[in-house]
Amino acid sequence: MIKNRRKIHEGKAKVLYEGPKTGTIIQHFKDDATAFNGERHEIIDGKGVLNNRITEYIFLAMEEIGIATHFIKRLNMREQLIKKVEIIPLEVVVRNVIAGSLAKKLGMKEGTKLSRSIIEYYYKDDALNDPMVTDEHITAFDWATPSELEDMVATTLRVNDFLTGLFYGIGIQLVDFKLEFGRHVEDGNMRIILADEFSPDNCRLWDIKTGEKLDKDRFRQNLGGLVNAYQEVARRLGILNENGDVIDSDEKVKGDKPTLVK
């Protein structure tokens, strides 16, 4: 771990430090869990380690199919090296099944499959409690250009199709999730790449057979067993060893593959 490094930003679940080279950042995953815009807060031992590893796995898989992300490499149990981007102040949410705020807002039953996936945008501003916005607001206020928004939507739908299949293969229904994007300049060209993280903190994952929640709703709804649930996701992805420990950086493990559930 680099000593005396400069902290750039501290969020609710992660800290960003200046990276070793220009244009790089170290993303540190904390054990903090918050809900309702930080109103509830708890430390959950081991959550950061799992989210670091799950995000690494998912972002590497995306890179493999040609979706550009900010991920460079994992540094240790809690930290990863990422590319510095200019974050677009939007949370892009995709929903495949009715749950969470959609169920609440429209008085609909949780668990109903949507006939087509829905994309929603939220403006990232804690003071305003991340209000939902439309594409009209996004382009009128220059949070993103129409072509950037088009790129984000196309990437989001690709991520959704890919991850829906990936999780289906390990017996998990991808109900909904949140993505964030950033502008990255490489060789003088600017493009939009996937940023932030992908972990059970930012998505809903339900066991296909039992309906059990394997995501942060365990915390939001006081169900308990959050670490066990995240471990179960990691185990099915093939990134936990037999002792239930997260497989560390260069530990090359046979069977480091998703566990197919029949």
CB of 178 to ligand ASP, least distance (A): 8
Applying CB under 6 A, which of residues 176, 197, 207, 232 lies at the interface with ligand TMP? Answer: 176
The one of ligand ASP, ligand TMP, none whose footprint includes residue 110, by CB under 5 to 8 A per kind, is: none
Q: Which residue's Cβ has the minimum distance to ligand ASP?
A: 34
Q: Which residue has the tokens 């959704």?
A: 160
Nearest residue to ligand TMP by CB is: 100
Euclidean distance between CA atoms 5 and 221, whole angstroms: 37
> Binding mask 32-71 vs ligand ASP (x if CB under 6 A, - otherwise)?
--xxxxx---------------------------------
Tell the smallest beta-carbon distance from residue 22 to ligand TMP (Å). 30
Q: Site for ligand ASP (CB under 6 A): which residue of 12, 30, 137, 158?
A: 12
Q: How far apart are the first and last CA of the chain?
A: 41
**Rounded to an integer, what distance in angstroms lies between the CA atom of residue 119 and that of residue 114?**
12
220 binds, among ligand ASP, ligand TMP, none (CB under 5 to 8 A by kind): ligand ASP
Exposed e or buried b per residue across 217-227, where buried means at least 16 C-beta atoms within 10 angstroms of its C-beta: bbbbeeeeebb
Q: What is the DSSP string of 119-155?
A: EEEEE--GGGT--EE-HHHHHHTTSS-HHHHHHHHHH
- Judged by the rule CB under 6 A, the positions of this chain that interact with ligand ASP are 12, 34-38, 216, 220
